[in-house]
Amino acid sequence: MLENQRIKELTDFCKRVDIRFKDMELLNQAFNHRSVTNEKQNVKNNERLEFLGDSVLGVVTASYLYQNLDMVEGDLAKIKSSVVSEKALAPVALKFGIDKLLILGHGEELSGGRTKPAILADCMEAIIGAYYLDAGYKNAEKYVLEFIIPAVEDILKNGMKDYKTQLQEYVQKNLKCCPEYRVLKKTGPDHDQTFEIGVFINENQAGKGSGKTKKDAEQMAAKIALMSFKNSN
């Protein structure tokens, strides 16, 4: 039985991303990382929902690309691979506040699991799977397209440029300066570290990302900053 505070958190999340869940227990399961089941009995993790959500995400994205882009199969496949990738989904998860709702085991929490791109992306897929079960394909499709369409449009406009390059060009053109990347935090043992990096523009933090390498963390931070600028415009 979910506590009232958790129900409120999940309800607020649904309002934020414009979805409606009948079964809050199912939605809550989507946030349960497998590390939780290693420490608690009778708790279902989100791996099966992730498996389902990955398929729904793939079908929705492939269908949208097929119907809207007159391209050869190889080009469609490249775009699809890019917009459904871990690197693409993790920043969206941070934008949606999914990192704050994750339920992790103690060890995963200490190792910075709340900001690991793989865990965030997996949770995104689990939510899609849960919503498909709760509300049907059409509603799941609407939810997915809310973040897939902007990602596709971004690729069509900027090509396959990485996010650091896109941010550099945007900032130089509009703000006449250069972004600066700083390591905010390192977690985990030396052989398995997670880096948290902030991107600063005129000394103001414009985005924050994490990854197993500094390069991956910088890319996520750059994408978060780009999303913020585009939303504000």
Q: Is 109 an active-site residue? A: no
Tokens, residue 28: 């809550």
Phi, psi of 84 (to 5 degrees): -105, 10
Q: What residue type is 219 in one-letter code?
A: Q
Give the span between the Cα atoms of 175 and 169, in whole angstroms: 10
Angle, vertex CA 132, rays to CA 131 and CA 138, nearest 5: 110
In 34-171 the beta strands, taken as DSSP E runs, fall at none
125 catalytic per annotation? yes
H/E stretch holding 181: strand 180-187
Q: Among 99, 125, 196, 216, which one carries the catalytic annotation?
A: 125
DSSP 213: S
Catalytic residues: 54, 125
